Amino acid sequence: MTILVTGGAGYIGSHTVIQLLESGNDVIVLDNLCNANPEVFNRIEKICNRRPAFIEGDVRNAVLLDTIFSNNQIDSVIHFAGLKAVGESVANPVLYYQNNVAGSITLFEVMQQHGCKKVVFSSSATVYGDPASIPVTESSPYAPANPYGTSKMMVENILTDLHISDNNWQVALLRYFNPVGAHPSGLIGEDPKGIPNNLMPFVTQVASGQLEKLSIFGGDYPTQDGTGVRDYIHVQDLARGHLKALEALAENHGCAAYNLGTGVGYSVLDVVNTFMQENQLDIAYQIVERRAGDVAEYYADPSFSSDRLGWKAEHSLKDMVRDHWNWQKNNPEGY
Ligand code: NAD
Ligand code: WQD
């Protein structure tokens, strides 16, 4: 089976490509490399003795997409390609709607023209905003709090409408919680450009001495220790969720949204303390003001994904901090 993976050179995409190749699929990656390094393909080859076909290009390029679909028998698409920095989306919303929404529309148009109607979409728990109750189920209302989150909601709406218009469209909307960790080989992992925004890459860069100190945003939340609580999920579990979603599409399950989280919330201090214990390292930190726009606490109710996809996260927080550090330690400058 041939699967087109947009954004397959990126963090979550590359881990998924490995599992697709290991399961015997043929994979074509389309990525414009705006947030990725082609070295990732050498690493993928080291891990699975195969590499995916790679086309450097943009999902907004309809002519290129048409050529790809004309030249290949593509069964389904996993659509990772997108921009994901919340702050940047607030500063430059048009860029986010152009890349994430217009790019998706172009892709779906070309898929429709070629009769390819199976798609797994990278959505985000960010579509829930500050949820009214936790754990968060898939029926919680949409309440995105920034243009990035709105762009994910819009693409979810477009795909839902496509399925209503033509129920041959098989759609899985995967709402990721907080992806962390890396492939256990330490050969591929998250490679953020500049100073990381997210907690785990910041922690690993403090551990490697590239950054001096972690600022913990807020110590006065109504949580177990006052710091923010999230549902961190190992990228390997997340990648496996995509293979399970493809199986569901093959069985004509229709169009549905799935939470991909563990169902367990950990605080920032839980993450930092587990990182220090597991890796036998010290992390300098200080507790500072809350970060604007942050939510105190949320974690998934993953029971629908378990029932409908037969998918459950298997990795512990210890696995996440160990594997993320193993990647950072072996690749202090990234790829
Ligand atoms: P990433 O930046 O590592 O991967 C995205 C990839 O898409 C990159 O390789 C980038 O070069 C490529 N890309 C971006 N725009 C493109 C375009 N117009 N045409 C072709 N390629 C393009 O990010 P990631 O963490 O792997 O995230 C993958 C997807 O999952 C994104 O859609 C993101 O919004 C979503 N997501 C990520 C997280 C997270 O915290 N990492 C959480 C929820 C959802
Ligand atoms: C986690 C916790 C911070 C950095 C973001 C996006 C979301 C999704 C995942 C794509 C929070 C605290 C962080 C630091 C800290 N991405 N923190 N010091 O904010 O839950 O989610 O990434 O869809 O859309 O918003 O993740 O890793 O930034 O923060 O104390 O230097 O760590 O306050 O409690 P977040 P994060």
pLDDT value for 238? 98
CA of 81 to the centre of ligand 1 (A): 5
User: Shortest CA distance to 249 belongs to which of 142, 104, 116, 56?
Assistant: 116
**Residue 252: band (very low, low, confident or very high) from pLDDT cuts 50, 70, 90:** confident
For the chain, give the mean pLDDT.
Answer: 97
Q: Is the pLDDT of residue 138 over 90?
A: yes
Q: Which residues pair with 149 in a beta bridge?
A: none
**Residue 185: band (very low, low, confident or very high) from pLDDT cuts 50, 70, 90:** very high
147 within ligand 2 shell (Cβ under 6 A): no
Strand 74-79 to 118-124 pairing: parallel
99 within ligand 1 shell (Cβ under 6 A): yes
Tell me the pLDDT tens digit for each residue of 258-268. Answer: 999 999 999 99
CA of 219 to the centre of ligand 1 (A): 30
CA of 117 to the centre of ligand 2 (A): 33
Ligand 1 atom nearest to 191, measured from its CA? 3
pLDDT value for 283? 98
131-147: average pLDDT:
96
- The Cα 121–Cα 78 span in angstroms is 6
Is-catalytic flag, 148?
Answer: yes
To test ligand 2's pocket by mutation, which of 122, 291, 295, 298 has the most ligand atoms within 8 angstroms of CB?
291
**Residue 329: band (very low, low, confident or very high) from pLDDT cuts 50, 70, 90:** very high
Ligand 1 atom nearest to 36, measured from its CA? 9
Tell me the pLDDT tens digit for each residue of 22-44. Answer: 999 999 999 999 999 999 999 99
Kindly report the pTM of this predicted structure. Answer: 0.98
- The Cα 98–Cα 79 span in angstroms is 15
122 within ligand 1 shell (Cβ under 6 A): yes
Tell me the pLDDT tens digit for each residue of 213-232. Answer: 999 999 999 999 999 999 99
Q: Which residues pair with 30 in a beta bridge?
A: 6, 55
289-294: average pLDDT:
94
What structural domains does the chain harbor?
A: 2-180+231-262 (3.40.50.720)
CA of 249 to the centre of ligand 2 (A): 31
Nearest CA to ligand 1 atom 9: 10
To test ligand 2's pocket by mutation, which of 199, 204, 271, 288 has the most ligand atoms within 8 angstroms of CB?
199
* Ordered DSSP codes for 241-300: HHHHHHHHHHTT--EEEEEES-S--EEHHHHHHHHHHHHT----EEEEPPPTT--SB--B
82-106: average pLDDT:
97
Using DSSP, state whether 229 is helix, strand or coil.
strand
282-290: average pLDDT:
98
- The Cα 6–Cα 29 span in angstroms is 6
What is the percent of the chain where pLDDT is above 70?
100
